[in-house]
């Protein structure tokens, strides 16, 4: 692992520099090897700052510089970076695992390996441990008990609450809205509830790559074609000259803007606001519990 | 061999040698040619096309009447991944450009077929802020010049790509690197360093083109005893930043190089470096022969928002005055008298909240409450600025200055951070602001006489593309969605576009081969050339 190399180099140099007789050299090599192995084990398995408040503070600053763009200020989660304050994390449990993930990234996700995001050589081992110490200092001590019933939430999702008309989970459901299988793996309970109660709020944000949680932004598009047909749906993609969109019947349209009679884009989501009068707090908790049961897998 | 034959043979050899020398000299780009680049509009001889920084092509074969018929002529795939920021040079039918990881290559400009390729071997641990990018080459004599990510300056043979000389300008391990296209002036290669995110001490260097020997260095952070040193608190000058990572311009009349500089370090923490922090975020007027400073103009004093003033300064003349204009990252468009360095106007050309007024000279000054805080608060423009490295253009026919602009605000926070050599040194972080409008991106046409916006074209999202203006009454630009677009230079109306399949981070240029005009731009991983059918 790249990060342990500086340590290894130092250990090696110390032995090479000393004036050793030939016989001792072999011994020294063996010792160096052992020391190297020891340094490696120590470096990756044990947090030298565990519980150290000063290190946690340093880690907070490092977190801001290196992690907060995706994981949010206070580690509460950003658009694409999971909330790291939750006790149970999707990919890691121990400090050592966390060290590995910060160092090497998570293949198949946008979590980069340390030093590979175009921002230079990355953090030192010490700084990584400080960040881990910080995350440990802000995380909840026990896994949040799901407030609702996942089984009932599933019933609602595919039944009375009509979520599945537009959202898909594990291959089942509609296509107009974002696929939600993994959504609870990265987003907090509060932000999911907010998205159900106020679906337009996130669309109103200035979304950058780092805050985009879905590949599309799901703005609402209303067009009138040259022959007078009105089409309303969500944006799949758009540039200055064309738009690709899906209407409520899940039809995909490819349109040239110059040929349209009118083109309107709105950050008012097509998803209706699910207020408490439509969906009670208890039923919403059940749906969140269902999303968590799927997303935390 | 009889005596007469011998004389004949010698004469023949002399003639051959003469011919060879004559041929060589004819192919070479002399300083005279760079000075008079307007006389050879088929060629694109510097990063901005000529010494003025205007990025204006006098070619008019492609114009408002026929732009809608433009077609792709060739595409060259560099096989590099990441952002392609290069502006190609074209000399007598050969195109020279760069790609990520310090690749340089020469192509047949008429077909896109490669002639040679070079890649500089890089160490694994280069210190970069913003990708493994390069913005292009300079050419002089029979050499092209490349600045590398590990802070080397390299001269390559124009015909083979062979390394002629390779000098190390600074220690890359401390965060020094080159991403800039150098500028060849007289017998010198002028280049500015990157590394404002690593607490480097910025500089601008001039190397003798023939040998690589350094002729002068101007430190953009003055040392003890030098004027401006007292604008730094304690030892903060040692890690003061002020990099110089974009290409400057050259005024032959006054023999001055105009070169802009970037942010003081750490970029988002002013505590510990009290003072104006000269010459960060400054336009420098340097004597081309000695590198001595004649005058300076600092755009953002004591910057705490990473608003590098490294945007290309553009020389233009208006009402008998010799001016230099810059659309600055801090959201203001500045016009300065390039003889004296005196400010003539400063107008906002995008969304700004940081400045509450102007000083006696007319320079916008920062509000105290715009400083980043520990918790963070919203300031406009954001850290990426109203514009950035993307090259602007000035069209002498419309007398308009074209610049890519973005409206975006960020939450700026600050935190103490100890300096460690070779380690990122921001002293802060910034975040997209929740309560901001969605980010918006524009191509704006500014009137340098008044600073007013004459027209704007709104992109679907902000773009990193630069702009080219041509005598055909056109401006060309690219977008983040992968389009290359031709617009009417007078009105901003789009006349043509082509989907290139990759986002644009480069600026366009124009050239002609065999009497046919081309317009070229880098996008995605390739270089694209367009022409009439």
Q: Are B288 and B354 in contact (CB under 8 A)?
A: no
B198 touches chain A (CB under 8 A): yes
DSSP annotation of B246 reads: S
Q: Are B376 and A73 a contacting pair at CB < 8 A?
A: yes
Q: Is the pLDDT of residue B259 over 90?
A: yes
Q: Provide DSSP, A136-183.
A: HHHS-SSPPPP-S-HHHHHHHHHTTT-GGGT-EETTEE-SSS---TTH
What is the distance between the alpha carbons of residues A167 and A25, in angstroms, rounded to a whole number? 67
Whether A187 and A78 map to the same domain: the answer is no
Q: Are A64 and B408 a contacting pair at CB < 8 A?
A: no
Q: How close B442 comes to chain A (CA, Å)?
A: 11
- Identify the active-site residue in B150, B306, B395, B410: B306
Whether A253 and A185 map to the same domain: the answer is no
Looking at domain B28-516+523-531, its CATH architecture is 8 Propeller (2.140)
What pTM was computed for the model?
0.87
Residue A192 in any domain: the answer is: yes
What is the distance between the alpha carbons of residues B93 and B81, in angstroms, rounded to a whole number? 27
Q: Are B416 and A211 a contacting pair at CB < 8 A?
A: no
Q: Are B445 and B454 in contact (CB under 8 A)?
A: yes
In a 3-state reduction of DSSP, which class is residue B39? helix
Whether A111 and A233 map to the same domain: the answer is no
Q: How close B74 comes to chain A (CA, Å)?
A: 23
Residue B319: HSE in the Cβ half-sphere, 13 Å Cα cutoff: 6
Q: ∠ CA(B24), CA(B27), CA(B32), 5° rounding?
A: 110
Q: ∠ CA(B460), CA(B381), CA(B509), 5° rounding?
A: 55
Q: Is the pLDDT of residue B369 over 50?
A: yes
Q: For the purposes of burial, counting CB atoms within 10 Å of the CB of A248, is it exposed (0-12), middle (13-18) or buried (19 or more)?
A: middle
Q: How close B324 comes to chain A (CA, Å)?
A: 33
Q: Which residues of A touch B409 (CB under 8 A)?
A: 206
pLDDT of residue A74: 83
B419 touches chain A (CB under 8 A): no
Q: Is the pLDDT of residue B455 over 50?
A: yes
A215 touches chain B (CB under 8 A): no
Q: Is the pLDDT of residue B2 over 70?
A: no
pLDDT of residue B436: 57
Give the structural domain span for A132: 53-138
Q: Give per-residue pLDDT as tens, B5-46.
A: 666 566 555 545 544 444 444 579 999 999 999 999 999 999
The mean pLDDT value for B329-357 works out to 97
From B408, B429, B482, residue closest to A68, measured CB to CB: B429
Whether A289 and A242 map to the same domain: the answer is no
Instruction: Work out the number of other CB atoms within 10 angstroms of the CB of residue A236.
Output: 17
Q: Are B482 and A61 a contacting pair at CB < 8 A?
A: no
pLDDT in tens, chain A (297 residues): 232 233 333 322 222 333 333 344 444 444 444 444 444 444 567 899 988 999 999 898 888 878 887 787 788 776 667 888 877 777 778 999 999 999 988 887 778 888 765 555 578 889 899 999 999 999 887 666 667 999 999 999 999 999 999 999 999 999 999 899 988 877 778 888 988 999 887 665 444 444 445 556 788 999 999 999 999 999 999 999 999 999 999 999 999 999 999 999 988 899 999 999 999 999 999 999 999 899 866
In a 3-state reduction of DSSP, which class is residue B440? strand
Question: Which pair of tokens denotes residue B54?
Answer: 């205007």
Q: For the purposes of burial, counting CB atoms within 10 Å of the CB of A78, is it exposed (0-12), middle (13-18) or buried (19 or more)?
A: buried
Q: Are A239 and B479 a contacting pair at CB < 8 A?
A: yes
Q: Give per-residue pLDDT as tens, B82-140.
A: 899 999 999 999 999 999 999 999 999 999 999 999 999 999 889 988 889 999 999 99
Whether A76 and A176 map to the same domain: the answer is no
pLDDT of residue A120: 52
* ipTM, two decimals: 0.87
Residue A143 in any domain: the answer is: no
Q: Are A206 and B433 a contacting pair at CB < 8 A?
A: yes
Whether A282 and A184 map to the same domain: the answer is yes
State how many domains chain A has: 4
What is the distance between the alpha carbons of residues B20 and A175, in angstroms, rounded to a whole number? 70
Q: Are B423 and A121 a contacting pair at CB < 8 A?
A: yes
Nearest CA in chain A to B425: A65
What is the distance between the alpha carbons of residues A60 and A134, in angstroms, rounded to a whole number? 6
What's the order of all strands across the beta sheet hosting B516-523?
B71-77, B526-531, B516-523, B509-513
Where are chain B's structural domains? 28-516+523-531
Q: Provide DSSP, B378-422.
A: EESS-TT-SS-SS--EEETTTTEEEEEEEE--EEEEE------TT
What is the distance between the alpha carbons of residues B234 and B231, in angstroms, rounded to a whole number? 10
Q: Give per-residue pLDDT as tens, A103-122.
A: 988 887 778 888 765 555 57
Residue A203 in any domain: the answer is: no
Q: How close A151 comes to chain B (CA, Å)?
A: 35
Whether A166 and A280 map to the same domain: the answer is yes
Whether A66 and A124 map to the same domain: the answer is yes
Greater confidence (B442 vs A75) lies with: B442
Give the best residue of B200, B428, B434 to mutate against chain A (max A CB count within 10 A): B434
pLDDT of residue B117: 98
Instruction: Please name the residues in contact with B143: beta carbons below 8 A apart, sequence gap of 6 or more.
Output: B155, B156, B157, B158, B164, B209
Q: Give per-residue pLDDT as tens, B202-227.
A: 999 999 999 999 999 999 999 999 99
3-state helix, strand, coil in chain B (%, to 5): 10, 40, 50
pLDDT band at B437 (very low <50, low <70, confident <90, very high): low
Q: Are B296 and B341 in contact (CB under 8 A)?
A: yes
Q: Is the pLDDT of residue B432 over 70?
A: no
How far CA B138 is from CA of A199, B105, B468, in Å, comes to 52, 13, 18
CA-atom Rg of chain A in angstroms: 25
Whether A116 and A57 map to the same domain: the answer is yes
Residue A172's CATH number = 1.10.760.10
From B409, B422, B483, residue closest to A241, measured CB to CB: B483
Q: Are B262 and B202 in contact (CB under 8 A)?
A: yes
Q: Is the pLDDT of residue B407 over 50?
A: yes
Instruction: Work out the number of other CB atoms within 10 angstroms of the CB of residue B488.
Output: 17
pLDDT of residue A111: 85
Q: Which residues of A touch B432 (CB under 8 A)?
A: 205-208, 210-211
For residue B314, give the H/E element and its range.
strand B314-318
Residue A145 in any domain: the answer is: no
Give residue B4's Cα distance to chain centre.
60
Q: For the purposes of burial, counting CB atoms within 10 Å of the CB of B75, is it exposed (0-12), middle (13-18) or buried (19 or more)?
A: middle
Mean pLDDT, chain B, integer: 94
Q: Are B372 and B378 in contact (CB under 8 A)?
A: no
Residue A213 in any domain: the answer is: no
How far CA B78 is from CA of B82, B83, B531, in Å, comes to 11, 11, 21
Q: Give per-residue pLDDT as tens, B126-166.
A: 998 888 999 999 999 999 999 999 999 999 999 999 999 99
What is the distance between the alpha carbons of residues B444 and B455, in angstroms, rounded to a whole number? 6
Phi, psi at B405, each rounded to 5°: -130, 155
For tokens 């630009």, the residue is B477
Q: Which residues of B touch A263 (CB under 8 A)?
A: none
Q: How close A86 comes to chain B (CA, Å)?
A: 22
Residue A144 in any domain: the answer is: no
What is the distance between the alpha carbons of residues A185 and A139, in angstroms, rounded to a whole number? 16
Establish whether B317 is a catalytic residue.
no
Whether A40 and A63 map to the same domain: the answer is no
From A205, A210, A240, residue closest to B434, measured CB to CB: A205
For residue B510, give the H/E element and its range.
strand B509-513
In a 3-state reduction of DSSP, which class is residue B108? strand
Q: Is the pLDDT of residue B290 over 60?
A: yes
What is the distance between the alpha carbons of residues A20 and A29, in angstroms, rounded to a whole number? 11
Q: Is the pLDDT of residue B355 over 60?
A: yes
pLDDT of residue A188: 75
Residue A214 in any domain: the answer is: no
Nearest CA in chain B to A243: B460
Q: Are A120 and B426 a contacting pair at CB < 8 A?
A: no
- Among A63-77, B170-184, B191-205, B507-521, the range scoring the smallest mean pLDDT is A63-77
Nearest CA in chain A to B418: A58
Question: Which pair of tokens denotes residue B474?
Answer: 């056109």
Q: Beta strands B56-57 and B467-470: pairing type?
A: parallel
What is the distance between the alpha carbons of residues B199 and B262, in angstroms, rounded to a whole number? 12
């Amino acid at each position: 692992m790249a990060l342990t190399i500086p340590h290894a180099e130092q250990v090696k140099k110390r032995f090479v520099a000393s004036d050793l007789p030939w016989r001792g050299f072999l011994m020294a090599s063996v010792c160096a090897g052992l020391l190297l192995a020891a340094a490696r084990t120590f470096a990756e398995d044990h947090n030298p700052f565990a519980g150290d408040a000063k290190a946690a503070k340093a880690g907070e600053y490092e977190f801001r510089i290196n992690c907060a763009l995706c994981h949010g200020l206070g580690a509460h989660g950003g658009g694409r970076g999971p909330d790291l304050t939750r006790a149970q994390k999707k990919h890691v449990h121990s400090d050592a695992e966390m060290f590995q993930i910060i160092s090497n990234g998570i293949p198949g996700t946008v979590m980069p390996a340390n030093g590979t995001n175009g921002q230079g050589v990355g953090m030192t081992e010490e700084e990584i441990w400080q960040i881990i110490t910080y995350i440990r200092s802000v995380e909840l001590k026990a896994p949040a008990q799901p407030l609702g019933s996942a089984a009932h939430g599933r019933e609602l999702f595919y039944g009375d609450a009509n979520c599945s008309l537009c959202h898909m989970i594990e291959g089942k459901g509609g296509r107009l809205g974002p696929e939600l299988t993994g959504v609870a793996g990265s987003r907090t309970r509060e932000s999911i509830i907010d998205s159900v109660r106020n679906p337009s709020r996130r669309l109103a944000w200035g979304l950058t790559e780092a805050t985009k949680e879905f590949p599309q932004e799901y703005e609402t598009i209303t067009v009138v074609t040259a022959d007078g047909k009105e089409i309303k749906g969500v944006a799949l993609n758009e540039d200055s000259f064309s738009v690709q969109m899906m209407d409520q019947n899940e039809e995909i349209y490819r349109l040239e803007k110059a040929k349209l009679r009118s083109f309107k884009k709105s950050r008012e989501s097509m998803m209706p606001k699910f207020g408490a009068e439509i969906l009670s707090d208890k039923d919403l908790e059940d749906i969140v519990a269902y999303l968590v049961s799927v997303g935390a897998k | 061999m009889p005596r007469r034959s011998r004389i004949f043979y010698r004469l023949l050899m002399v003639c051959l040698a003469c011919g060879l020398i004559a041929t060589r000299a004819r192919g070479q780009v002399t300083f005279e040619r760079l000075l008079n680049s307007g006389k050879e509009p088929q060629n694109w001889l510097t990063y901005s096309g000529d010494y003025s920084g205007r990025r204006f092509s006098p070619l008019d074969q492609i114009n408002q009447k026929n732009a809608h018929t433009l077609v792709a002529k060739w595409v060259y795939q560099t096989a590099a991944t990441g952002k392609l920021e290069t502006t190609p040079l074209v000399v007598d039918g050969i195109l020279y450009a760069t790609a990520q990881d310090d690749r340089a290559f020469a192509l047949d400009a008429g077909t896109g077929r490669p002639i040679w390729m070079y890649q500089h071997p890089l160490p694994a641990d280069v210190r970069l802020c913003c990708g493994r990018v390069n913005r292009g080459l300079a050419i002089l004599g029979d050499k092209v010049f490349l600045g590398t990510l590990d802070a080397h300056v390299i001269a390559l043979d124009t015909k083979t790509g062979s390394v002629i000389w390779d000098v190390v300008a600074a220690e890359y391990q401390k965060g020094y690197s080159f991403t800039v296209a150098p500028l060849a002036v007289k017998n010198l290669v002028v280049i500015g360093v990157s590394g404002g995110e690593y607490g480097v001490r910025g500089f601008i260097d001039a190397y003798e083109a023939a040998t690589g020997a350094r002729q002068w260095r101007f430190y953009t952070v003055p040392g003890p005893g030098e004027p401006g040193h007292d604008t730094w608190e304690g030892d903060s000058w040692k890690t003061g930043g002020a990099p110089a990572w974009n290409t400057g311009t050259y005024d032959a009349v006054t023999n001055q190089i105009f070169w802009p500089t970037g942010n003081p370090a750490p970029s988002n923490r002013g505590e510990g470096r009290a003072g104006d922090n000269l010459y960060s975020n400054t336009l420098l007027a340097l004597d081309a022969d000695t590198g001595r400073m004649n005058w300076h103009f600092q755009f953002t004093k004591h910057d705490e928002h990473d608003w590098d003033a490294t945007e290309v300064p553009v020389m233009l003349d208006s009402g008998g005055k010799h001016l230099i204009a810059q659309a600055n990252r801090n959201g203001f468009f500045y016009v300065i008298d390039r003889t004296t360095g005196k400010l003539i106007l400063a107008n906002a050309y995008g969304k700004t909240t940081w400045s509450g007024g102007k000083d006696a000279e007319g320079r916008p000054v920062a509000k105290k409450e715009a400083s980043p805080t520990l918790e963070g608060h919203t300031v406009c423009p954001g850290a990426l600025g109203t514009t950035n490295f993307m090259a602007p253009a000035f069209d002498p026919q419309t007398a308009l200055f074209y610049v890519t602009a973005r409206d975006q605000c960020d939450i700026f926070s600050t935190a103490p951070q100890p300096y460690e050599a070779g380690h990122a040194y921001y002293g802060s972080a910034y975040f997209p602001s929740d309560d901001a409008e969605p980010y918006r991106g524009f191509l704006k046409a500014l009137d340098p006489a008044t600073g007013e916006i004459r027209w704007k074209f709104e992109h679907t999202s902000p773009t990193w593309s630069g702009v080219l203006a041509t005598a055909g009454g056109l401006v060309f630009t690219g977008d983040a969605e992968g389009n290359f677009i031709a617009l009417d230079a007078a009105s901003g109306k789009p006349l043509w576009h082509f989907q290139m399949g990759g986002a644009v981070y480069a600026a366009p240029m124009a050239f002609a081969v065999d009497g046919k005009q081309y317009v070229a731009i880098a996008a995605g991983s390739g270089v694209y050339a367009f022409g009439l059918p």
